[in-house]
Structures are given as structure tokens and as C-alpha cells.
Structure 1
Amino acid sequence: MFQEERLNAIVDYLNNNKRIDIKDICRLFEVSRDTARRDLIRMEELGLIIRTHGGGVLPKRAKEVHQYKDRLIRESDEKRDIGRHAASLVNGGDFIMMDTSTTVQFAAEDLTADPLVAVTNSIDIADVLSKKESIRTFLLGGELNPKHRFLFGQTTIDELANYTVDKLFLGACGMTEHGLSYPDVEDGVVKREMIKRAKQVIVLADHTKFGEQMFYKICGLESIDLLITDRMPERGLMEKLAEHQVELLVVTEEDNDD
């Protein structure tokens, strides 16, 4: 394989996995460490990557967050599996809260606990829950964001002050060693208030969210009780999760075969 072909293949890998290291290049393309190192140097010269210690990552680009309904169509099987596992943690008699997130919506679709009380600021999740006779649903008031289909504003914050729930199911746009972040301040402020109202905070995040830093930070990792994901995070994030005693549940292919 010529270097140009290999560089294109490395970019494809990065688009799916966010980062690559020298040993990955050696394994995937059966080249020496020196060749892998030269590839990374060349890619940095071309502006294709930012080199890190022992590897490289894609340059940060402006974060594009598609409309909610478009995201729902695009979502992966991994996110559906994460949602299914989250739903299995809900017990009859629980009081739960669900933020506006496509992965959380997948959890809502799979809820079978009976009876159940749910609070949400998502008009789509409220619609899903309304079809389940065993669930009493409370839809928070406020101003509607028509693109991302959540309710926000002071009315939403004021109403949240009336609730205390057993579990909060929270989607994630970005997760780093510093915590959770989101592109929309209005949405982030509501999520921050939701965290205050829950006895257990459960984050649903597939591996593509790891290492992503969005505009508005809502909390540090110390505010999270459980992370449900599809792949083990990298060492740095794993160490911080352990430091803050965040329980980790990784959905595996073996789980899906059960």
C-alpha cells in the first residue's frame, strides 16, 4: 500500500474512532513503527491531524448538531442498545426524569416497569411515554426549541424545583475528564437543574462522545453515578471515572445476544 492510500485509510479510521496511535497503524497496515511515525508526521504537515503523544487525533471542527428528528434517524444500533440497557434498570414504583436526547428516547421506548412516574422536558419522549398505560408522565412547561424539541427557560427551571426523582437519564454531547458539556446553553441550564433533582444520575453516552468538549459545561464527573456506554473509555477518562466513583456499564455484543 502506498503512503497516500494509507493516509486516506487512517483518516477513515479517525472518522470512526476519533484517535489513533502508532501501534494501531502498525497493526492495521502491517508497517514498522518508523513508518507509522512518518505517516503521522506527514498527516500533521497536511493539516489532517493533530499529533499527540504516540498518536494523533482529528483537528477540532465546528460542532454541528443536527435537528432532533434527523438525529433520531441517523442514530446507531449501539445507541439503541445503550437505551435498552438503561430501561432495564428502571423498577416498578420508580420516579424517573429523562432529558432531551435520542439515546434517552430509545430508553423510553423500551420501558416496561409498572407502575412508573416520569418527568421530561422532551416533547418526543413525552409522546413515547404517553402510549404506555403504566406510566404517568409529567411534561415540564417552558419555551419550545423547535429544532431540538426541548422545553427550556425560567418556567422549566421553576417547575423542576417541585420534583425529586430516583433516577435521571441524561444524554451526552461531550464527555471529557473535566465532565459533561453541551452545545446549547439553554438546554444545558435545564440539564444542570435536573441533576440537582435526582438521587441517581445515569449518563447514556456512546464512545463517540468521549474526548469531545462542547461549549457549555453542565457538571463534573463527580455529579455522575453511572455511565452506560458501548466501549471502554481511554485510560485518562477511565482513571477520572474511577477517581469520582462513577460506575461503568459497557454494553457488549455478548449482552445483545442474550
Structure 2
Amino acid sequence: MYQEERLIEILTYLSNERRISVEKICELFGVSRDTARRDLVKLEEQQAILRTRGGAILPSTRNKIKDYPNRLQTDSGEKFHIGRKAASLIRNGDKVILDASTTVQSCADQMKELDCTVITNSINQAEILSNKANITIHLLGGQLHKEHRFLYGTSVIDRLAKYYVDHAFIGVVGISEHGLTIAHEEDGMVKRKMIEQAKQVTVLADHTKIGITDFYQYAGLEDIDLLITDRAPCLEFQELLSTHKVELVVTEEETSL
């Protein structure tokens, strides 16, 4: 086997097992320890691995969070079904909070023209809802994050503290055993206050967010009541939700009926 072929096989192994030893390379490919070390040196030069004592691991990866318009285009079908289910939970007379996530925007898009009140820090959500005649909108004023189109800061949090609502709909970058996480601390601080002010909290998250932990934790699983997602998570995560008394709604199961 040529070196190039072994390098591909080593990376394939790492993608499944996350780490590999020199001994394992020798065993898999029938090569000497010196050859195995040269393979690892080559992969390190390509910045494909991180060498450790006696082997290698995959380097930590972090996907850059896309800006708001690009996120709107990602998994739009899943967001549509999640947003539709979330919108169906809102009733006449409700007072609700919508955060600035793109999945929550799908909820705003599909809200009926109910006689309800919406509080949001999203200029996109406010614009969408302004076309629905009976909905009263409270746009929280603060500093604008231009790339991700949300308002934040102490003025937003102080204003939120004055409102007590029936329901909050919250988006995430990740939901895992470490709770709800987001890339930007300033966004997370606002979301945390939104959760505190609501009687019922629903998280909207497509399947790619489950099991992910991002930079800033703004809530624990015990702080939410309902998770709406597009695919059933693994049994281990379902048990974790059950332990924290989080109800699970899977839109994929509903659309397949």
C-alpha cells in the first residue's frame, strides 16, 4: 500500500475512533513503527492531525457561525416544519417572546393573525410580524448586532425584566448534556432573561444542534419545558430530556403519518 493510501485510511479510522496509536497503524497496515511515525508526521504537516505521545488525535474543529441571511438558507425545510409546529402552540390572547434565531423566524413567518402580543429583540421577527394585523409587537431596543440582526445590551435585559409572558420560543447553536449554548455571550444573556420571564419555554432546534456544545451556556435542560426538533434524537439523549422533565416533539414523525 502506498503512503497516500495509508494516510486516507488513517484519517478514516480517526473520523470514527477520534484517536490512533503507532501500534495500531503497524497492526492495520503491516508497517514498521518508523513508517507509522513518518505517516503521522506527514499528516501533521498537512494540519490534518495533532500528534500525541505514541499516536495522534484529530484536532478540535469549530465551524464558524454563518451570518443571518446564510443561516436562513440552511436546512430551511427542517426549520419550516419546526416553525409551523411552534406557531400552532400560540393562541389568541397569548403574550409570547420570540428570540432572534432563524428557526424562530420560521415560527414568526407561520403565525396566524391572532390577537396576541409578541416581544422580540429581532428586527427580522418584528418586520415579519408587522404585516400581521392583529399582533402587537414590542421591539426591545438596544445595540444592534449587524451580522446576526439581534438587539442586545443592558437596556434589552432591563426592559425584558418588566415583562411576564405565557411562552418563550428560543433557538440554540447547541443543546446537549451541558444545556443550551450559543456562540455569542451577549446573545446568550438576552436569551437567559427571556427564559426567566416565561411560564413555558420551548426550544426550537433541528437535529444538527442536538449533542452540540458551543461557547456560552445560557440555560440548563432543567430550564426548558419543550423541545421541538425534526428528527428523533438518540435514546440516550431522550432519556436525558426525560430526566429533566423536557417534553419532546419530533416533526418528522408527524409529517410521516
- TM-score normalised by the shorter chain: which range applies? 0.7 to 0.9
Contact 2:179/2:221 (8 A) holds in 1: yes
Q: How does 1:26-41 map to 2 (within 5 A)?
A: none
Match for residue 242 of structure 2?
242
How far has the Cα of 1:257 moved from its partner?
6.0
| Maintained 8 Å contact 1:90/1:113 | no
Shift of 1:60: 3.8
The structure-2 alpha-carbon separation of the partners of 1:81 and 1:49, relative to structure 1 and needing over 3 Å to count, comes to farther
Cα deviation for residue 154 of structure 1 reads 0.6
Structure 1 residue runs of 5 or longer lacking an equivalent are: 12-18, 22-37, 51-57
Aligned mates of 1:175, 1:144 — CA distance in 2: 25
Match of 2:200? 200
Distance 2:197 2:234 in 1: 30
75-84 vs 229-238, which moves further = 229-238
Match of 1:162 in 2: 162
Q: Which residue of 2 aligns with 1:26?
A: none
Question: What SS does structure 2 have at the residue aligned with 1:105?
Answer: helix
- Letter of the aligned partner of 1:135 in structure 2? I
Query: What residue number does 1:16 align with?
Result: none
Pair 1:161–1:222, CA change in 2 (3 A): same
4+ long deviations beyond 4 Å:
45-50
1:167 is paired with a residue whose SS is strand
The question of 1:256 aligning with 2:255 is answered yes
- Tell me what 1:148 maps to: 148
The verdict on how the C-alpha distance between 1:86 and 1:59 changes in structure 2, with shifts beyond 3 A counting, is farther
Q: Secondary structure at the match of 1:89?
A: coil
* Structure 1 residue 256, shift from structure 2 partner: 2.9
1:113-170 CA distance string (max 9 Å, x none):
5211100000000000100002101100100000000000011011101101101000
User: 2:75 corresponds to which residue?
Assistant: 75
Aligned ranges 1:217-228 → 2 under 5 Å: 217-228=217-228
Distance 1:236 1:255, change over 3 A: closer
Identity value in percent: 47
In the aligned structure 2, how far is the partner of 1:181 from the partner of 1:152? 17
Per the normalisation by structure 2, the TM-score is: 0.77
The answer to whether the Cα contact below 8 Å between 2:174 and 2:210 also exists between their aligned partners in 1 is: yes
Report the Cα offset of residue 69 of structure 1: 1.2
State the secondary structure of the residue aligned to 1:93: coil
Segments of structure 2 that go 5 or more residues without pairing to the other structure are: 18-27, 30-35, 51-57
**TM-score (norm. length: structure 1):** 0.77
Give the aligned partner of residue 124 of structure 1: 124
| Paired residues of 2:113 and 2:133 also in contact (CA < 8 A) | no
Q: 1:201 to 1:49 in 2, by over 3 A?
A: farther
Query: d(CA) in 1 for partners of 2:49 and 2:165?
Result: 44
**Contact 1:177-1:236 at 8 Å conserved across structures:** no
Number of matched pairs: 222
Rounded Cα–Cα distance in structure 1 between residues aligned with 2:228 and 2:16: 23
| 1:75 CA displacement | 3.4
Structure whose alpha-carbon radius of gyration is higher: 2
TM-superposed deviation, 1:232:
1.7
RMSD: 3.0
